[in-house]
């Protein structure tokens, strides 16, 4: 069981470039989340998904898009990167299919993104 994995671990972009961050989970979880972590601000929810084919906005969605074409994968896209998007991005998942909600989220190791 790999749990939640994120690709890539590090990335440097120039302003205006685009990229996609991949999150994968092998726990058969229904819900998946993307957060960003900035110094002194804790984790802020960007987008989340409550099932395959569904997505919703979180607290700070501007400048990001997401897709959940398969239950196990949740992609975060930056269409035109800006320096303000320099951050550490974490993916998480929760709620096993057919199971009971426990509200416990399981986190990936993070992606450190720098936008120059």
Partner 1 sequence: AQSVTQLGSHVSVSEGALVLLRCNYSSSVPPYLFWYVQYPNQGLQLLLKYTSAATLVKGINGFEAEFKKSETSFHLTKPSAHMSDAAEYFCAVSEGFGNEKLTFGTGTRLTIIP
Q: In 3-state terms, what secondary structure has residue 88? A: strand
The answer, yes or no, to whether the previous bond of 8 is cis (omega within 30 of 0) is yes
Q: Which stretch binds partner 1 (CB under 8 A): 14-22, 66-74, 77-85, 92-100?
A: 92-100
User: Would you say 83 or 109 has its CB closer to partner 1?
Assistant: 109
Asked if 94 is part of the footprint of partner 1 (rule: CB under 8 A), the reply reads yes
C-alpha 48, offset from chain centre: 8
Binding mask 36-75 for partner 1 (x = CB under 8 A): ----xxxxxx--x-x-------x-----------------
**How many helices and strands (H and E) does the chain possess?**
0, 11
Q: Which stretch binds partner 1 (CB under 8 A): 18-26, 35-43, 61-69, 75-83?
A: 35-43
User: Would you say 14 or 40 has its CB closer to partner 1?
Assistant: 40
Strand partners, 51: 54
End-to-end CA distance of the chain: 36
């Amino acid at each position: 069981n790999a749990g939640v994995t994120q690709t890539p671990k590090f990335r440097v972009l120039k302003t205006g470039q685009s990229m996609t961050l991949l999150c994968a989970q092998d726990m058969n979880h229904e819900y998946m989340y993307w957060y960003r972590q900035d110094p002194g601000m804790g984790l802020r929810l960007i987008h989340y998904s409550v099932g395959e084919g569904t997505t919703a906005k979180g607290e700070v969605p501007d400048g990001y898009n997401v897709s959940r074409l398969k239950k196990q994968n949740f992609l975060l896209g930056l269409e035109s990167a800006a320096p303000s998007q320099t951050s550490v991005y974490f993916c998480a998942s929760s709620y096993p299919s057919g199971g009971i909600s426990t509200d416990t989220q399981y986190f990936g190791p993070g992606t450190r993104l720098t936008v120059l």
